[in-house]
Amino acid sequence: MKSALATLGGALSGPRWRRPDAWSIGTLLIAAVLALPILVIFAHVFIPASEVWEHLRQTVLQDYVVNSLILMLGVGVGVLLIGVPTAWLVSMCDFPGRRIFEWALLLPLAMPAYIIAYTYTGMLDFAGPVQTQIRELTGWGYGDYWFPEIRSLSGAIAMLTLVLYPYVYLLSRAAFLEQSICVLEVSRTLGSSPWSGFRRVALPLARPAIITGLTLALMETLADYGTVEYFGIPTFTTGIFRTWFGLGDPGAAAQLAALMMTFVLVLIVLERYSRRRARFHHTSARYSRLPRYRLTGWARIGALVACLLPIVLGFLVPSTQLFQWALKTTHMWMQPQFLGLVWNSVSLAAIAAVLAVFLSLIMAYGKRLGPSRTTNAAVRIASMGYAIPGTVIAVGIMLPFAWIDNTIDSFMREAFGISTGLILSGTLVALVFAYCVRFLAVSLNTVEAGLAKIKPSMDDAARSLGSGPRTVLRRVHMPIMRGSILTALLLVFVDVLKELPATLILRPFNFNTLAVRAFELASDERLADSASAALAIVLVGIIPVILISRTISRSRPGHDTPA
């Protein structure tokens, strides 16, 4: 018996299973490499200010701060007013079209902010069809009537709100679906009306999820470049870009990026603070089919309008306009150059998605094998990239990569008389690395969620048969979590396809993507010509939106069956 136990103990704790140390080291190394851009940016805080920085501080820095704050405040209010009520209506109320609205309210998530900005500008500016029709019907001329200016700070707030409210809607709906029915029933027995129960019970319970969605929306607002640049609004992102390329001072651009990161860190701290008591929100383990409040009369009409309006303004109207422009400019998408743009975008997004998921698998599995404080901290650091704007990441990558390139080139010139050129900063290496830093959190969260569903007993069974960590991951975990891996690949693929600022800064010479081409054409006021590239991005983005909606619908234990 002792011999058998010793043999089994050797299988469980022998040399082959002590490899988790290697996984932990790999996790730490990946986190260190991915944290490089952030550390580079922070290091510039301690560098003495240059003349360019002093010029920025005395002239435009205040505009950057004020405009960024107003933009965040306006978008924050807008996404809350749209996301939370619509999430409550489709989760807890019964009215015509509810099942369609459940997934349709996520459609604006597929519409990049800069694309909806181009579209509405083409429709609502002075030469657009709306104002043209007004002048034809009334006989008015320029200056005879007032019309809201789309290219303004309020216009940017409206554009960003229409495409970012799904972040709040998504997490709010998930929180409402996961709440225990017991609390809702108790509130009803105490005489609470549906509105009172929502305001005094459901809303406080869902507050951490709502704050998380709001934080994501504000981070995306702070990271936006295409919309504010096209509307001519000076913010941190446009300032970083102009300082780097316009004034030619990477150091000042990095210092501006470091200041911008303080806003991001404040948002992260607030989000973490809002979730500090999330463990107390599980009020009961008893779940059953949610009782839906049947709406009638004006309440039903109000629910229909509240759910339909964001979809119409955030997706249907801009998509229809893009489709009309694309039909009128068929020469754009029939050109060989357009096929080259599609190939560049798809291949680049595919490479970045595969690499990001591969790194996520290593880190998530390393955390599972050795869940120490150090490993957990490393994983958290690696996943911070999603909170950092693409412009900041690009600056943090270009500085060290350019130094490495110059060092290697100088050595090769002196030693062998040849020039290696820009091996890192002048190729797709820098761009793919930026995508991994920016979107690793998307794949990491998805992979971790899939890995958490696999019981530890399966690991024990596999290692009792002599399998090492790599074998367990390859032959046991990956087949089980195939759906999660596919979801992570798809989400990163679409995010890379839409990314604009990092691509603009880090792309090699004579290399374009759909996002960059759409931005260039729109900047030249060729809005109709930009429709083909923009529409291609939107169509691809619809796929993960539907996938996410189906996942949320099944998030509640014993989720609803069709009524």
Question: In this predicted structure, what is the pLDDT of residue 189?
Answer: 56
395-424 tens-digit pLDDT:
888 888 888 888 888 888 888 888 877 788
CATH number of 29-279+318-553: 1.10.3720.10
Beta bridge partners of 94: 294
Distance CA 275, CA 279 (A): 8
pLDDT at 562 over 50: no
Compute the distance between CA of residue 179 and CA of residue 284 in angstroms, rounded to an integer: 8
Residue, of 561 and 485, whose pLDDT is higher: 485
Give pTM, 2 decimals. Answer: 0.80
CA–CA separation, 375 and 496 (whole Å): 27
Separation CA 182–CA 287 (nearest Å):
8
Q: Check residue 561 and give its pLDDT.
A: 40
The pLDDT-based confidence of 282 (bands split at 50, 70, 90) is: very low
How far CA 407 is from CA of 81, 394, 411, 420, in Å, comes to 53, 20, 6, 10
CA distance 381 to 34: 8
The strand pairing partners of 293, in sequence order, are 93
Q: Is the pLDDT of residue 502 over 70?
A: yes
Q: What is the pLDDT of residue 313?
A: 94
530, 117 in Cβ contact below 8 A? no
The yes-or-no verdict on residue 210 having pLDDT over 90 is: no
| Angle CA 508–511–517, to nearest 5 | 125
Question: Tens of pLDDT along 372-384?
Answer: 777 777 777 777 7
Q: Is the dihedral of CA 379, 381, 387, 390 positive or negative?
A: negative
Range 43-50 average pLDDT = 72
SS3 of 209, please?
helix
Q: Per-residue pLDDT for 280 more than 60?
A: no
Segment (H or E) for 93: strand 93-94
Domain coordinates in residue numbering, the chain: 29-279+318-553
Residue 552 has pLDDT above 70, yes or no: no
Residue 251 burial (CB count, 10 A): 18
The residue type at 185: E
Closest CA to 113 of 543, 518, 549: 518
CA nearest neighbour of 78 among 160, 194, 8, 146: 160
Tell me the pLDDT band of 492, cut-offs 50, 70 and 90.
Answer: confident
**Section 130-149 average pLDDT:** 83
Q: Which residue has the higher pLDDT, 284 or 30?
A: 30
Strand, coil or helix: 293? strand
Comparison of pLDDT for 129 and 191, the residue scoring more: 129
Rounded CA separation 190/532 (Å) = 57
Residue 32 has pLDDT above 60, yes or no: yes
Instruction: Find the radius of gyration of the CA atoms of the chain.
Output: 26
pLDDT above 90: residue 311: yes
Per-residue pLDDT band at 351 (split at 50, 70, 90): very high
- Give per-residue pLDDT as tens, 184-195: 555 555 455 555
Provide the pLDDT for residue 199: 58
| pLDDT of 11 higher than 50 | no
Residue with tokens 């500008």: 121
The whole-number average pLDDT for the span 321-348 is: 82
Across 69-78, 170-179, 223-232, 403-412, least confident range? 170-179
